Chains A and B, each alone.
Chain A
Amino acid sequence: MAEAHAEEHHGHHVTSNRVLNTTFLQLFAAMVITILAARAPIDGPALFPGFKDFFLKWEYAWGATNAIALGIAAFKAVQVIRFFMGVQYASGLIKLYAVMGFVGFTWLYILFWDYVGRPWEPVRGWETVPGTALPRDPDSDAGVPYKLYPGKEEGASAEMSHE
């Protein structure tokens, strides 16, 4: 009875209808919660009296609503990977690939330490021009971008390429 239970079929696992249907309903419910969580602080008064004031007074509302929306997205992703992609029933090697792919992705965020930590110990020339990622000219207080070839006039780089 493949309809009722997950079973082994010719040596491979067949995910049951019950598991697939439940996963889909979970994803659908999570989707509705995501929209409500994201829209609640704006459209809150229509839904729950006083909700908007409560949220806007809360200092960390911005971070909290982000965390809720992305937390639910992560839950949805995990359910898709586990049941739709069948990793829940796969071999250890495939589980390793699935986990490492997404763990590796989170490791990219180590780069944030550079951006977050740069103001902690300012280094001459490393400061950025406000509002951009361009390095600031250390000899200027006006916040102009750093010139790669100081002293060269306009068109100097074109001349350099001919040399």
Chain B
Amino acid sequence: MAAHGAAIDPNEPVVYEQYETIEQQQETYLVGMWSFLVTEVMMFGALFLVYSLYRWKFRGEFFMFHEELSWQWGGLNTMNLLFSSFLMAKAVQATQLKRAKAQMWYLAGTIVCAFIFLIIKAIEWIPKFEHHLVPTASFHWPPHEPHGSGGGSPEHAKIFYSLYFTMTGLHGLHVVIGIIAITILMVMTKLKAKAITDYIPTEMVGLYWHFVDLVWIFLYPLFYLIPR
């Protein structure tokens, strides 16, 4: 754990002995984070593939199933997540420029957006539980008061809603993990924890948060904007 140089400034990042320079050390952290993100791409990728296969197979029916989803709420949530990603990018910038106050405000803003996302998600999900659109034994298609035509096979509707709840649910879980990660980052930054001496922790949490945004960028058109 020895650092290069005689005097160690607690406010400057420490270069650990296995690294030549601070740049090499920081790149190693980021490559590690990117490796993790690639595994995330693989996990969500398999789900996107399953979705694509069924969408291709039942393309006429998927339009009828998606009519029960609100493209307005979904669109609002997309705007919200894009804005949260912007705030996170600003938080990383503020950290790099050592503007601690601005960093905390941007991170807090990101958390607020994340909670708004979950609230909107709850507004969308709760009526689907009440209308028996959750793929359990009580699943019922067509719904009693359909927003659209209510057509299509109940078995295929169950496939659509299984994919919908699995993919948006897994994404929602990532949003919750993001909230926890950002909160821990804020607390550790506030307490001036040893692990946080430079912008890298914020950058890594930021990369994760942008990935969460990326997934939603594709989920939105695939579930909410299916053309006729």
Query: Is A147's CB within 8 Å of the partner chain B?
Result: no
The A interface, classified by DSSP as helix, strand, loop or mixed, is helix
Check B53 against A41 for contact (C-beta < 8 Å): no
Number of residues of chain A lying within 8 A (CB) of chain B: 54
Bound-complex Cα distance A9 to B199 (A): 11
9-residue interface stretch from B23-31, B173-181, B184-192: B23-31
| Residues in A whose Cβ lies below 8 Å from that of B27 | 91, 93-94
Cβ 8 A contact of B86, one of A24, A41, A77: A24
| Residues in A whose Cβ lies below 8 Å from that of B42 | 104-105
The B interface, classified by DSSP as helix, strand, loop or mixed, is helix
Query: Is A131's CB within 8 Å of the partner chain B?
Result: yes
Q: Nearest CB to that of B74 among chain A residues?
A: A35
| Residues in A whose Cβ lies below 8 Å from that of B35 | 97
Min CB distance, B58 to chain A, in Å?
A: 8
Bound-complex Cα distance A59 to B220 (A): 25
Bound-complex Cα distance A100 to B31 (A): 13
Check B22 against A20 for contact (C-beta < 8 Å): no
Query: Is A47's CB within 8 Å of the partner chain B?
Result: no
Min CB distance, B96 to chain A, in Å?
A: 5
Check B75 against A11 for contact (C-beta < 8 Å): no
9-residue interface stretch from B126-134, B161-169, B207-215: B207-215
Check A105 against B82 for contact (C-beta < 8 Å): no
Number of residues of chain B lying within 8 A (CB) of chain A: 55
Bound-complex Cα distance A31 to B218 (A): 11
Query: Is B105's CB within 8 Å of the partner chain A?
Result: no
Query: Is B69's CB within 8 Å of the partner chain A?
Result: no
| Residues in A whose Cβ lies below 8 Å from that of B203 | 86
Bound-complex Cα distance A13 to B121 (A): 36
Interface string of A51-65 (1 = CB under 8 A from B): 000000000011001
Q: Nearest CB to that of B82 among chain A residues?
A: A27
Min CB distance, B203 to chain A, in Å?
A: 8
Bound-complex Cα distance A127 to B36 (A): 39
- A-B pairs, top 9 by smallest CB distance, nearest first, are A38-B225, A65-B227, A97-B34, A101-B38, A69-B221, A105-B45, A24-B86, A84-B89, A101-B41
B residues with a Cβ closer than 8 A to A are: 22-23, 26-27, 30-31, 34-35, 37-38, 41-42, 45-46, 48-49, 52-53, 56-57, 59, 71, 75, 78-79, 82-83, 85-86, 88-90, 92-93, 96-97, 153, 155-156, 199, 203, 206-207, 210, 213-214, 217-218, 220-222, 225-228
